[in-house]
Amino acid sequence: MTKSLAADWHAQIRRLSRAQARTEAQVKSWLGRMDSLNPLTPARPAGPPGKVRPARPAPAPDSLPGTWQAHRLRLAPLPGELVPQLSYHLYIPSKAHRGPLPVVVVLHGCRQTPDDLSAGTRMNALAEREGFIVAYPQQPLRRQVQRCWQWFDLGAAEGGREAQAVAALIDTLAARHDVREREIYLAGMSAGAAMAALVALRYPGKVAAAALHSGVVIGAADNPRAGLRAMQQGSAAEPSWLLDAAGVTPGGPEMPALVIHGLADDAVHPVNGRLLARQFLAYNGLEDRLAGTPEPSNPDDEAPGRSHEYRFGRWRRDLVTLVEVEGLGHAWSGGDASYGYHSDIGPDASSMMWQFFSQHRR
């Protein structure tokens, strides 16, 4: 009897194990299909033919002398919201930097995590050297299966809620005793750049300046299909008109902005960099002297990594700067190319952002 029961038990375990393996394979297949069908997720950077990029371990927490912390911010729940919270990571530099410090909040792109973004941009190493805190909010899978910030859907329960959550995080950081509340800056990559632009312009009293890398013009989309069209083509509408569609009122507190875009970006058309810069010109009441579309590159004259800067401001102070980088695709300029969506082509975007931020306070 005992042998019979044991045999039955082992048979059931084997059947459960096979069922679990099938379920896992089905989930992976489903996620793969979602990945391919999602129009707002940029294509993965191409690797060598026939080779798969090996999984990269998370950066060691002790690779820098500062501290790497995981946090969760509780949010006031909306009707029907299951988990009203925002996860984020903080890098706090070592005690070599005393007193309250500035903060840079960095929003990742699709398929990125705080670990990937901090390593690929080398932002934590820069923070350790220059003396500022870095915060990395994380878009949860329960909101978007590729972790894309939903800049293309500004409904109260979707992108509008995400913008509100990032603004609440900024308030939480400003209340810390080790933070200079007038020196909180906002940066982002790709979908994170579009969301950063939205937060900066909707909540200008909370942010001292913004830096946007490979972002999309805001206000040109209200659903995924329109978002894909904006990524591929930008918008024919006047950038200032799109501010109203994005829920932004021009003429509020000044909002300095640095916009960086690769001229070889095949995921988010380079015209979007110009449109974003023009939106910040309109918001700040500056004359729009940017042409609508970047000049097409001459292959014989192109120099990958060469950048072109356009600066606009008043009283000898830059308020809006556009940097276009030749030969740079949909990737962080001057980053660690061993991480997806980061390139060693072009100037160091992290350093450019910090230099820009250092000129501005709220």
Determine the Cα–Cα distance for residues 341 and 44; give it in Å rounded to an integer. Answer: 8
Determine the Cα–Cα distance for residues 260 and 270; give it in Å rounded to an integer. Answer: 10
Alpha helix stretches (DSSP H) within the chain: 2-37, 114-121, 123-130, 159-174, 191-202, 224-233, 239-245, 271-283, 349-357
User: Among positive and negative, which fits the CA dihedral 157, 158, 160, 165?
Assistant: positive
268 pLDDT above the threshold of 80: yes
81 pLDDT above the threshold of 60: yes
As a whole number, mean pLDDT of residues 156-166 equals 84
Q: Return the number of other C-beta atoms located less than 10 Å from residue 6's C-beta.
A: 10
| 201 within 8 A of 164, measured Cβ to Cβ | no
Q: Return the number of other C-beta atoms located less than 10 Å from residue 146's C-beta.
A: 18
**Residue 98: its pLDDT value, please?**
80
State the residue for tokens 């029907």: 80
Query: What are the boundaries of each domain within the chain?
Result: 67-295+302-357
The mean-pLDDT minimum among 55-64, 145-154, 256-265, 350-359 falls in 55-64
**Residue 159: its pLDDT value, please?**
79
Strand pairing category for 67-74 and 179-189: unpaired
Per-residue confidence band for 161, with pLDDT thresholds at 50, 70 and 90: confident
CATH topology of domain 67-295+302-357: Rossmann fold (3.40.50)
The mean-pLDDT minimum among 2-6, 74-78, 279-283, 306-310 falls in 2-6
- Grouping H, G, I as helix, E, B as strand and the rest as coil, residue 15 is helix
Determine the Cα–Cα distance for residues 305 and 286; give it in Å rounded to an integer. Answer: 29
As a whole number, mean pLDDT of residues 176-200 equals 97
- Grouping H, G, I as helix, E, B as strand and the rest as coil, residue 97 is coil
As a whole number, mean pLDDT of residues 158-186 equals 94
Bridge partner residues of 313 (DSSP): 318
- Grouping H, G, I as helix, E, B as strand and the rest as coil, residue 93 is coil
**Could you tell me which residues come within 8 angstroms of residue 71 by beta carbon, excluding any fewer than 6 positions away?**
87, 88, 89, 90
**Residue 211: its pLDDT value, please?**
98
* Each residue's pLDDT tens digit, 14-67: 454 454 444 444 434 444 443 444 445 565 554 443 333 433 434 444 589 999
